[in-house]
Amino acid sequence: MDNPLTVLASPAWRGVEGDMWRASSPTGSVILKHYHPDTAFYVDVAASMRAAAMAGDAGIGPSVTGMWASHGIIAFEELAPPWRSGGLQDVVNAHTRTAVIEAKKAFQSLTPIGKPVSIFDEIDTFVSMVRESSVATHRDLGVFVSFFADARHKIASAGQDRVPCHRDGNTANYMVGGDTSVRLIDFDLAGDCDPFEDIGCHLVEFFENDLDARAGFEEWHGSFDEGLFQRAMLYGLADDLRWGLIGALMGAKSARSHLEFSKYAAWRFLRLEARLKSSDANDRIRVAA
């Protein structure tokens, strides 16, 4: 029997931002997340908790039962089995993909989180950090930075909306129910930004190539538009650079040396390099709307 999945030998970023604990009593149990302080340079804990509470109140995330932002602790309802964490196996399930899209679009329809954010600003910040600390990244970092400076200018010239966004396409950042219903979790990067960033992060995680990503864009957007597709893909490529830089910084600075942050960074840089060295890379910027 043929395996419908593409097997990728790539490291995963899963459960890194905080320790997770279950607290139980005779009346039920909750899940506690305690953020690690070494993530403070890229996680706004207060904004993350606000976003999680918004999602819980809207029924698109687990309900938040308590928040202690100054201590980096948030408590959620426990989603017990048959609920499970999402994974790469879910990308081939059209029902799950649809549920993920519906949840993220529902989150985008909520009131602002109160944290305006730009992935390009984040990249600028992280690039400054790696250069100031002489952190090893990728030999073509300067090329990457120049490419996304051009992409940023093109997107800004076209104009953009700003809505609440989950901003993380990682398949581990949602829970799947027995009926393939979905709840979003891990709002660590959540902020108010261009909704096409959410689409781009989704596309590069769920689809290995542009052909499949085009169909995925139509699943999300309802119709296909080449300019908007390329806009989304520019954000998706920028997500590779963002996480590559985060991984490199964590590898150099975090005391949690048992976690292979640098290996994850190398994977995101490698994937970005492959995409930016294709002959049509600059066409994305030219066509983006």
Q: What are phi and psi of 68, to 5 degrees?
A: -135, 75
Per-residue confidence (pLDDT) for residue 37, from 0 to 100: 96
Q: What is the pLDDT of residues 49-75, one digit of tens each?
A: 999 999 999 999 999 999 999 999 999
Q: What is the mean pLDDT of the chain?
A: 94
- Quote the pTM value: 0.93
* Residue 277 scores a pLDDT above 50: yes
Relative to beta strand 18-25, strand 28-35 is antiparallel
C-beta separation of 169 from 240 below 8 A: no
Q: What is the pLDDT of residues 149-161, one digit of tens each?
A: 999 999 999 999 9
Categorize the per-residue pLDDT at 7 as very low, low, confident or very high, splitting at 50, 70 and 90: very low
Categorize the per-residue pLDDT at 4 as very low, low, confident or very high, splitting at 50, 70 and 90: low
Q: What is the CATH number of domain 85-287?
A: 3.90.1200.10
Q: Where are the domains of the chain?
A: 85-287
Residue with tokens 């640098």: 262
* Residue 2 scores a pLDDT above 80: no
C-beta separation of 61 from 52 below 8 A: yes
